[in-house]
Amino acid sequence: MDVELIRLTKRYGHTTAVDGIDLKVRSGAYCCLLGPSGCGKTTTLRMIGGHETVSGGDVVIGPRSVGDATPAERGTAMMFQSYALFPHLNCRDNVAFSLKMRGLAKAERRAKALAMLDLVQMAHLAERLPAQLSGGQQQRVALARALVTGPKVLLLDEPLSALDPFLRVRMRTELKRLQAELGITFIHVTHSQEEAMALSDLVVVMNGGRIEQASDPRTVFERPATAFVARFIGGHNIIRLPDATEVAVRADRMRLGAQAGPGAVPARVVSVEYQGTSVHVGFEAEGPGGTATALTALIDDRAYAGDPLALGQTVPLGWDADAAHRLSPRA
């Protein structure tokens, strides 16, 4: 189902956590709310899920504004950051919990819960208590519990942050697979740009309670709207031009030495980090007004091996003219 936020606002006393945001997530999309901690992304998610009252504006799910409806009435289900599995119930009963609340007969809800556990490959551990499971397994159970009532929108609050990096990548793939299989709308809160890029159809970059940019991942990376977005998703140099406008240039589009072109500036090498397929080279260049600007160039490993750089060396540094993307003036 479509999810639409209209001038959605959340205030706590004098502080505004979410500041009148507008957003439309179309049905069946994988949307990531991305931003640093305190940017209002979790509050937004909780307002969509009915776990936080709305100070102003509207949440529209499908055809109607949800107002004060309970999560079940909204057709949303939430997966909590700490999973929030009931410690006194085994996996099967955890998954069957919402069916029990709806008054389904024991045999029926157990069968449904087992089928859902099977979907997340946890049916063989159905009798275990949450405390007897690893983090990844708990997460699968939490996912099954959220999905068992057939929600139209699944809300995930930093679902991967408690996992180790290896498991995080695996679960990421699995989330994407499940979403494609079920065809329901996923709204996923994360502070990892890598996660957002890998998963979403729609990346919503938030900062200070506002949306900085909401686009598909490629647009966000190719044409970041603001300096904040460019900085947050990484891999960009933000360069202040002599006419006081700012442009973002992808680190892999920086050009060195002979290829640097006529607009090149002299830059001193301050760090070299070998990354396998590429080499990260940190530069310090003199910007307009004599301030030192830190720049990064991402150089293909083979090109770097052919023409290595030494720390402290000064080289001309420029970029392809079409690689410069003008940023909107808002900080």
Where on the chain is the footprint of another protein (CB under 8 A)? Answer: 49, 51, 70-72, 77-78, 80-82, 84-88, 97-98, 100-102, 145-146, 149
Map residue 117 onto helix, strand or coil. Answer: helix
Q: How far is the CB of 89 from another protein (least distance, A)?
A: 8
Q: How far is the CB of 36 from another protein (least distance, A)?
A: 22
Q: How far is the CB of 174 from another protein (least distance, A)?
A: 21
Which residue lies nearer to another protein by CB, 158 or 212?
A: 158
Which residue lies nearer to another protein by CB, 109 or 255?
A: 109
C-alpha–C-alpha distance, residues 294 and 78, integer Å: 41
Which residue lies nearer to another protein by CB, 108 or 286?
A: 108
Spatial neighbors of 50 by CB under 8 A, at least 6 apart, are 66, 68, 69, 70, 71, 74, 76
Q: How far is the CB of 97 from another protein (least distance, A)?
A: 5
Amino acid at position 9, single letter: T
Other beta carbons less than 10 A from residue 106's beta carbon: 10
Which residue lies nearer to another protein by CB, 80 or 119?
A: 80
Map residue 206 onto helix, strand or coil. Answer: strand
Write out the DSSP string of 150-168. --SEEEEESTTTTS-HHHH
Which residue lies nearer to another protein by CB, 73 or 300?
A: 73
Q: 189 near 114, Cβ under 8 Å? A: no
Spatial neighbors of 303 by CB under 8 A, at least 6 apart, are none
Q: How far is the CB of 26 from another protein (least distance, A)?
A: 24
Which residue lies nearer to another protein by CB, 77 or 247?
A: 77
Q: 42 near 80, Cβ under 8 Å? A: no
Q: How far is the CB of 330 from another protein (least distance, A)?
A: 35
Q: How far is the CB of 48 from another protein (least distance, A)?
A: 12
Which residue lies nearer to another protein by CB, 140 or 250?
A: 140
Structure tokens at 51: 């776990």
Q: How far is the CB of 145 from another protein (least distance, A)?
A: 7
Which residue lies nearer to another protein by CB, 42 or 296?
A: 42
Please give the C-alpha separations between residue 139 and each of 19, 101, 125, 158, 230, in angstroms, as whole numbers.
31, 22, 13, 11, 32
Q: Residue 92 gets which letter from DSSP?
A: H
Amino acid at position 290, single letter: G
Write out the DSSP string of 217-263. HHHHHHS-SSHHHHHHH-SEEEEE-TTS-EEEEEGGGEEEGGGG-TT
Which residue lies nearer to another protein by CB, 42 or 237?
A: 42
Rg (the chain; Cα; Å): 24
Max Cα–Cα distance, the chain, nearest Å: 76
